[in-house]
Amino acid sequence: MSHNFQKDMSGCGLAGIINKNGKRISGSSITKSMCLMNDRGNGLGAGYAAYGIYPEYKDLYAFHIMYDESASQRDTEEYLKKNYHIEKKEPMPTTPVEGITISPMIWRYFVKPLPEKTEREIADLQDDDFVVRTVMKINSEIGGAYIFSSGKNMGAFKGVGMPGEIAKFFKIDEYEGYIWTGHTRFPTNTPGWWGGAHPFTLLDWSIVHNGEISSYGINKRYLEMYGYKLTLLTDTEVVTYLLDLLVRKHGLDVLTACTALASPFWKNIDDMPEDEKNVMTALRIVYASALMNGPFSILFGHSKGLVGFNDRIKLRPLVAATKDKTVYMASEESAIREICPNPDKVWAPRAGEPVIAELEG
């Protein structure tokens, strides 16, 4: 739990799409939407997350891993072999792109934790918990190795470049998913690092985020108390882990979790009916250190839905729209209209009020 860290800061643009019937959409849509917002980034990071892209391996964890050097890969694979059944291992399919001259080695693994390993027996961990522990361990202990995607039937693709370049590099338009999120970055104080681009993921959670969490210091220390290791020093990592803690570990529903993270003001809580007031008061008291304060708009995806939400006074933009069974969310309305010229409904969600779109049936 060191306090000697350099925190990452950035401004951004983001977009997300979900088809509530689970119909899979080509990656070309999200790419088009993101490319319209090129001026919200500066080429130092872009990325995408997609759900439903690996139906043939849907029961296996898909690890996307970046390596700086072959030694990192050797050490990582040694650990994986000891603890996981590796169904398939392959280099990430990529294409050379003019603007991208340097990239890490990127590999993809479809794996399942071995049931009988001692390391698990001691801690009596469920598969998900063990995968989280693996991600924390490799990312913090093996130099030059970074697991940037670890969910089932989903994946993150990200790197240093503009949204169009990154999409081309990872051949995004060859994937089909029922949820997509995209991100372009405008970092102000970090050199481009592939791992630092969004989305950030943990298990099925993926986050794209625009803003700076001014409460980062306490959010980080709060998460560390629950065993999370914050290695990336970005706000987005905090969001990812907070949601993991509140929703997966504490069992709060998504709406309640979002309410805890961007809570209503006391003056509004005091006027609520007694029951609601008690719930809100308890939520604020118990999750005070999880309150995310400062400007942000966030899209987070999980296997069953997409959620967009803002900080408590809406200091960063977020627009939402619907068209039939598809829900769109983005930093700018123009990015939505670029791929959906005539939405049924367009609105700007209120501060702290999440937009929750879930798969039906």
Partner 1 sequence: MFKSLAVPEFLANIDQVKCIRCKRCIQNCGWDVYSWGGDKVLIDTFKCVKCLRCYHYCPTEAITIEDNLVRYRNNANWGFFQIRNIKKQAETGGIPLTGMGSDMPYPVLFDNLLIDACQVTNPSIDPLREPMELRTYLGKKPAKLEFEKTTDGKSKLKTKMPPQIKLEVPFIFAPMSYGSISLNAQKTLAIAAKELGIVMNTGEGGLHEDIYPYRSNVIVQVASGRFGVNPDYLNAGVAVEIKIGQGAKPGIGGHLPGEKIPLDIAKTRMIPVGTDALSPAPQHDIYSIEDLRQLIYAIKEATNYTKPVSVKIAAVHNVAAIASGIVRAGADIVYIDGFRGGTGAAPVIIRDHLGIPIEYALAAVDERLRQEGIRNEASIIAAGGIRSSADAAKAIALGADAVAIGTAALITMGCTVCGKCYTGNCSWGITTQRPELTVRLDPEVYAERLINLIHAWSHELREILGALGVNAIESLRGSRERLRGVGLDSQTLDILGVKPAGR
- Binding residues vs partner 1 (CB under 8 A): 1, 3-4, 6-7, 9-11, 188, 211-212, 214-218, 220-222, 224-226, 249-253, 256, 265-267, 275, 278-279, 282-289, 291, 293-295, 312-313, 315
**With contact defined as beta carbons under 8 Å apart, do 235 and 213 qualify?**
yes
Q: Which residue, 69 or 253, is less far from partner 1 as judged by CB?
A: 253
Query: Least distance from C-beta 49 to partner 1, angstroms?
Result: 24
**With contact defined as beta carbons under 8 Å apart, do 10 and 188 qualify?**
yes
From 187, 232, 163, select the one nearest 44 (Cα to Cα). 187
Q: Cβ atoms within 10 A of the Cβ of 314, count?
A: 19
**With contact defined as beta carbons under 8 Å apart, do 319 and 347 qualify?**
yes
CA 236 to chain centre: 7
Query: Least distance from C-beta 239 to partner 1, angstroms?
Result: 14
From 25, 18, 6, select the one nearest 174 (Cα to Cα). 25
Q: Which residue, 106 or 260, is less far from partner 1 as judged by CB?
A: 260
**With contact defined as beta carbons under 8 Å apart, do 301 and 16 qualify?**
yes
Q: Which residue, 25 or 307, is less far from partner 1 as judged by CB?
A: 307
Query: Least distance from C-beta 256 to partner 1, angstroms?
Result: 7
Query: Least distance from C-beta 290 to partner 1, angstroms?
Result: 9
Q: Which residue, 224 or 353, is less far from partner 1 as judged by CB?
A: 224
H-helix segments, 142-215 = 163-169
Q: C-alpha angle 67/68/74, rounded to 5°? A: 55
Query: Least distance from C-beta 134 to partner 1, angstroms?
Result: 22
- What would the two tokens of residue 157 be? 């693709």
Q: Rounded to an integer, what distance in angstroms lies between the CA atom of residue 32 and that of residue 335?
A: 8
From 176, 179, 197, select the one nearest 187 (Cα to Cα). 197
- What would the two tokens of residue 342 be? 């005539």
**With contact defined as beta carbons under 8 Å apart, do 208 and 182 qualify?**
yes
Q: Which residue, 135 or 291, is less far from partner 1 as judged by CB?
A: 291
Query: Least distance from C-beta 5 to partner 1, angstroms?
Result: 8
Q: Which residue, 167 or 243, is less far from partner 1 as judged by CB?
A: 243
Q: Which residue, 92 or 279, is less far from partner 1 as judged by CB?
A: 279
Q: Rounded to an integer, what distance in angstroms lies between the CA atom of residue 305 and that of residue 140?
A: 29
- What would the two tokens of residue 277 be? 């007031």
Query: Least distance from C-beta 216 to partner 1, angstroms?
Result: 6
Number of H helices, E strands in the chain: 11, 18
**Enzyme catalytic residues:** 12
From 183, 146, 233, select the one nearest 37 (Cα to Cα). 183
Q: Rounded to an integer, what distance in angstroms lies between the CA atom of residue 353 and that of residue 36?
A: 26
